Homo-oligomer: A and B are copies of this chain.
Amino acid sequence: MAAEQGPMSGFRDMLAEEMIARNGMIGTIQGVYESYGFVPLKTPALERLSTLTGKYGDEGESLMYKFKDNGGRDVAMRYDQTVPLARVVAQYGSRLPMPYKRYAVGEVWRGESPQAGRYREFTQFDADIVGTTSSIADAEVIGMMSDTMTALGAESVIRVNNRSLLDALAEKAGYTERADAMKIISTIDKVDKIGKNAVVAEISEGFGETTGQLVSDYLSVDGAPLDKLAKIRELLGGSDSTTIGADNLTEIFSMLQSSGYTEDQVVFDQSIARGLSYYTGVIYETTLKGAEELGSVCSGGRFDNLVESLGGPSLPAVGTSIGVDRLLEGLKKLGRVKEFKTTTEVLVTNFDSNDAPNYVRVARELRQAGIASEVYYEDVKLKKQLSFANRMNIPYVVLIGPDEAEKGVAVLKTLASGQQLEIAIDELPTYIAQLKANALKTNLTD
């Protein structure tokens, strides 16, 4: 292969700087999700084409990686995490705990036109609860999203709504046909982009002044979540849709508020619509404070008919999906991700390869004290070894020359400060562990 030949267009190699940050972020998300009792699920990268086909619409179908394998079987590469979930729920049935709370993190493949920030292989991190209509599950997913962003060091705003309120709004305006309602809802969905006035104007033009006024009133309702909900109930009247949506959100916000989530963290926003038509209840999206222009990094809602429509059993579900790449981009932007070239904390230098047993032993003792360490492989000039440590941002260097070896000591050099001190080899692990702890404390109080 030619030396300049990289991965294919739309695909990426991820080197250390990217992967260490990414693994850290994914580990944090997993930790939070598991603290809520979500369990991992992994499904194959390849499925029968018949399992995936007809599930993603014409556009999805055209983007899918599908082919005949060597045995002549029609197969397709994973396109999302939801259809495999529906297959698993259909297949394992009562062998799964119900409600089934699962998370799945892994690559999906779509033959999109490559463009800035859009890839043909990307990672989806989904969490879903299948098998309950309880609003406790709704609140749990929203709380978990907020806890996750906090655990990642980011301040976030989760905006929450319920599709039933939007349905109630369309009904109140006299539009009970699905197509009309969807048109009104998708216009309201644009309020972030085009502003309230433009939305009202567009509605007025398409559905008349009265409807425009109603939408204007609806979008103008303001206040704390429970107050707003009371006002919206009044505005939309006592239809079933109003009651279903407002009751659900009242329950959710009561739970979240009693648990200490603030009105900065979780907001009732009656303009949120989420484009996808499969949502049936609560819907939400999450922006990072200071990186709002990235849009939602984590969103979802309730989809009580989706599992069945995907070929699974008739089971309600609620869930959320994180775009791993976009979230990582946001955290980088906020300075919440440190890029590491290596995880090594101590480089043990090499004065003379004949003394390598000594260096290897010291490195092992450091590791046993929880300090990531490596030995420089060649006994080249010390300057070259130090310059390697500098280039890799390895914070500490241990030097054991013949004089030091004789005395049973080492010179410990802290690269950031240039500070050097002689220390007994036996005391090195404890001493460096203490330096690390102090450095951590300093970082935390920064």
Does A382 lie at the interface of the complex (its beta carbon under 8 Å from any beta carbon of B)? Answer: no
Q: Which residue of B lies closest to A12 (CB)?
A: B44
Residues A361 and B259 in contact, CB atoms below 8 Å apart: yes
Q: How far is the CB of A294 from chain B (nearest CB, A)?
A: 22
Residues A42 and B13 in contact, CB atoms below 8 Å apart: yes
Q: How far is the CB of A436 from chain B (nearest CB, A)?
A: 13
CA distance A164 to B47 in the complex (A): 46
- Pick from A1, A8, A102, A120 the residue with the most CB of B within 10 Å: A1
Residues A34 and B372 in contact, CB atoms below 8 Å apart: yes
Residues of B with C-beta under 8 A to A340: 39
CA distance A208 to B202 in the complex (A): 95
Does A254 lie at the interface of the complex (its beta carbon under 8 Å from any beta carbon of B)? Answer: yes
Q: Which residue of B lies closest to A341 (CB)?
A: B97
Does A111 lie at the interface of the complex (its beta carbon under 8 Å from any beta carbon of B)? Answer: yes
Q: Which residue of B lies closest to A43 (CB)?
A: B13
CA distance A30 to B47 in the complex (A): 29
Q: Which residue of B lies closest to A50 (CB)?
A: B1
Q: For the complex formed by this chain, how many copies does it contain in all?
A: 2
Interface residues of A in 381-427 (CB under 8 A from B): 388, 391-392
Please tell me which stretch of A217-225, A263-271, A284-292, A351-359 contacts chain B, meaning at least 4 of its Cβ atoms lie within 8 angstroms of it: A351-359
Does A6 lie at the interface of the complex (its beta carbon under 8 Å from any beta carbon of B)? Answer: yes
Does A344 lie at the interface of the complex (its beta carbon under 8 Å from any beta carbon of B)? Answer: yes
Does A444 lie at the interface of the complex (its beta carbon under 8 Å from any beta carbon of B)? Answer: no
Residues A62 and B70 in contact, CB atoms below 8 Å apart: yes
- Contact A68 B70, CB 8 Å, known A44-B7, A75-B8, A134-B353: no
CA distance A65 to B67 in the complex (A): 10
Residues B361 and A260 in contact, CB atoms below 8 Å apart: yes
Residues B1 and A378 in contact, CB atoms below 8 Å apart: no
Q: How far is the CB of A274 from chain B (nearest CB, A)?
A: 23
**B41, B44, B111, B358: which contacts A69 (Cβ < 8 A)?**
B111
Please tell me which stretch of A83-91, A188-196, A298-306 contacts chain B, meaning at least 4 of its Cβ atoms lie within 8 angstroms of it: A83-91
- Pick from A35, A48, A87, A370 the residue with the most CB of B within 10 Å: A35
Residues A111 and B13 in contact, CB atoms below 8 Å apart: no
Does A16 lie at the interface of the complex (its beta carbon under 8 Å from any beta carbon of B)? Answer: yes
Majority SS at the chain A contact face: mixed
Interface residues of A in 67-109 (CB under 8 A from B): 67-71, 73, 75, 77, 87-88, 90-93, 96-97, 99, 101-102, 107, 109
Q: How far is the CB of A121 from chain B (nearest CB, A)?
A: 5
Q: How far is the CB of A137 from chain B (nearest CB, A)?
A: 5
Residues B45 and A121 in contact, CB atoms below 8 Å apart: yes
Residues A46 and B255 in contact, CB atoms below 8 Å apart: no
Residues of B with C-beta under 8 A to A359: 136
Interface residues of A in 1-26 (CB under 8 A from B): 1, 3-8, 11-16, 19-20, 23
Residues of B with C-beta under 8 A to A373: 35-37
Q: Which residue of B lies closest to A120 (CB)?
A: B46
Does A325 lie at the interface of the complex (its beta carbon under 8 Å from any beta carbon of B)? Answer: no
Q: How far is the CB of A388 from chain B (nearest CB, A)?
A: 8
Residues B23 and A40 in contact, CB atoms below 8 Å apart: yes
Does A235 lie at the interface of the complex (its beta carbon under 8 Å from any beta carbon of B)? Answer: no
CA distance A6 to B257 in the complex (A): 42
Residues of B with C-beta under 8 A to A51: 1, 5
Give me 14 A-to-B residue pairs in the complex whose CB atoms sit less than 8 angstroms apart, sorted by A's number: A8-B44, A8-B46, A14-B40, A14-B42, A15-B96, A34-B343, A45-B45, A45-B107, A97-B391, A136-B360, A143-B360, A255-B357, A258-B357, A259-B360
Residues of A bordering B, CB below 8 Å: 1, 3-8, 11-16, 19-20, 23, 27, 30, 34-48, 50-51, 62-63, 65, 67-71, 73, 75, 77, 87-88, 90-93, 96-97, 99, 101-102, 107, 109, 111, 120-121, 132, 134-137, 139-140, 143, 147, 251, 254-260, 311, 313, 340-344, 350, 353, 356-361, 364, 367, 370-375, 377-378, 388, 391-392
